[in-house]
C-alpha cells in the first residue's frame, strides 16, 4: 500500500527527513519526500510538500502500530492512499 501524507501545518524539510529516517527503520517500509510544486518561492513555506510511504503487504500488526505512532507524533496529517 502506498500512502501520500501531508502535514497541517506543514513540516520543515529537516522534520520530513527525520520522519523518513524513523519510518525507514521499519522492515520493508520505504519513503520518498515529495518536493513542493509551487512556482513561487516562499521563505516561510516548507521545501517539501509531503512524504510518500510504501508499506509492504503483510506488515506485522506491531510494526503497523509503530508506523501509526510515528506518523501521529509529528502532528495532524492528511492522507491519500494510492
Contact partners, residue 46, CB within 8 Å, separation at least 6: 10, 11, 12, 13, 16, 36
What number does CATH give the domain 2-38+45-81?
3.30.70
Cα–Cα distance, 10 to 25 (Å, whole number): 23
Ranges of each domain in the chain: 2-38+45-81
What's the predicted TM-score (pTM) here?
A: 0.90
Residue 42 has pLDDT above 80, yes or no: no
DSSP 74: T
Model pLDDT, residue 23: 98
- Stated as kind and residue range, the H or E segment containing 77 is strand 77-81
Digit-coded pLDDT (tens) for 20-37: 999 999 999 999 999 988
DSSP 10: P
Average pLDDT of the chain, as a whole number: 94
Amino acid at each position: 500500500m502506498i500512502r501520500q501524507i501531508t502535514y497541517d501545518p506543514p513540516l520543515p524539510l529537516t522534520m520530513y527527513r527525520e520522519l523518513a529516517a524513523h519510518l525507514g527503520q521499519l522492515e520493508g517500509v520505504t519513503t520518498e519526500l515529495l518536493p513542493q510544486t509551487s512556482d513561487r518561492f516562499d521563505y516561510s513555506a516548507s521545501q517539501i510538500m509531503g512524504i510518500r510511504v510504501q508499506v509492504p503487504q503483510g506488515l506485522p500488526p506491531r510494526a503497523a502500530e509503530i508506523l501509526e505512532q510515528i506518523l501521529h507524533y509529528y502532528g495532524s496529517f492528511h492522507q491519500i492512499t494510492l
